[in-house]
Chains A and B, each alone.
Chain A
Amino acid sequence: MLILTCPCCHVTAEETEFHAGGEAHLKRIGPDGAEGEFESYLFMRQNPKGVHLERWRHVYGCGKWFHLARDTATLEVFGAYSAQTTSPPDHIRSAIQEKHPEWQWQGAS
């Protein structure tokens, strides 16, 4: 069970009050993109065992979207951060690197 704290309303609750929204920081492929790129934008997702950046929505609470950094294997939560960003902020990166020094932000995919 995940215990999440919403960065918008600061409520801490278990995961059933939230809804997962899939991988974060996807790079949108528009009408100019190649077919292959568009396909991977739509369907291809990372599925890491370990550190993962995701979108979540506080669906039963304030209703807002936010970002979350967590470990998919241990369910450890490194932190939640604003949805209004295209990359994880520094304090989230350092929280992750404290546990996983080798981890690096790979950029939007």
Chain B
Amino acid sequence: MSETVTALKNAHYDAGIAEVSEIGPLGMITIRGDLDAPFVRKVAKKVTGVERPERGMCNSEGGAGIAWMSPDELLLMCPHAQVPDVLARLHAAFEDTHTLAANVSGARAVFRVDGPHAREVLAKLAPVDLAPEKFTPGMFRRTRVGQVPAAIWLRADGSFQIFCFRSVAQYMFDLLKAAAQPGSEVGYFPPESGVNREKV
């Protein structure tokens, strides 16, 4: 079997006000269909161990999770090696319903932004209210980061996980590095507020 590599071979930057890392390879499967259909909720929970999230949220546990992408789209996350198995189970559950499950692991790049100024780094780049009381852990938001589409997920440990297209991975990494460069603290958000710094 061919070797799986991420877009930037897990590039890492820690010289600035926040740590930026490309993570992965992460298993990612898009589900499109009726998100309220019982068979969708049931199989999504079965393969990830978490409930289908409410609008604008992401539920996760261990290496698996489900993110709410749009009124008819979910992003399912799982360990990369499990993708073929999970996909087979989804296809079996969806049978001939009008529901899609597609492997998008290779189509995306995923980044982690961590550290007390992580919130500030994202706030510089996205048209999203990232105030600690407005953007809280578990929230998942599709938006624009710089000039490219992306999704921002605030994890329970206070770090941000960014999803974008693989083709713009280098742009995203450079952009996040620029926003995290040394001495670029804005100090708009109090560094500790709203963030549980304990690692899970």
Binding site for B on A (CB under 8 A): 8-11, 13-14, 16-17, 59-64
Contact = CB atoms under 8 A, between A and B. Distances in A.
Contacts of B56: 9-11
Contact of A62 (B127, B128, B142, B144): B142
Given A11-B56, A60-B149, A17 B70 contact: no
Given A9-B55, A60-B149, A17 B71 contact: no
B144 A9 contact: no
B193 interface: no
B117 interface: no
Contacts, number: 36
Interface of B: 55-56, 69-71, 73, 127-128, 141-144, 149
A59 B150 CA distance: 11
Given A8-B71, A9-B71, A61 B127 contact: no
Contacts of A59: 149
Nearest to B71: A8
A17 B69 contact: no
Contacts of B142: 60-62
Interface of A, helix, strand, loop or mixed by DSSP:
loop
Nearest to A14: B127
Contact of B141 (A11, A14, A64): A11
Contacts of A13: 127-128, 143
A62 B69 contact: yes
A10 B144 contact: no
Nearest to B129: A12
B55 A10 contact: yes
Nearest to A10: B55
Given A9-B70, A60-B144, 12 more contacts: A8-B71, A9-B55, A11-B56, A13-B127, A13-B128, A14-B127, A17-B143, A60-B149, A61-B143, A62-B69, A63-B70, A64-B70
B57 to A, nearest CB: 12
Nearest to A12: B129
28 contacts: A8-B70, A9-B71, A10-B55, A10-B56, A11-B56, A11-B141, A13-B127, A13-B128, A13-B143, A16-B127, A16-B144, A17-B127, A17-B143, A17-B144, A59-B149, A60-B142, A60-B143, A60-B149, A61-B70, A61-B143, A62-B69, A62-B70, A62-B71, A62-B73, A62-B142, A63-B70, A64-B70, A64-B71
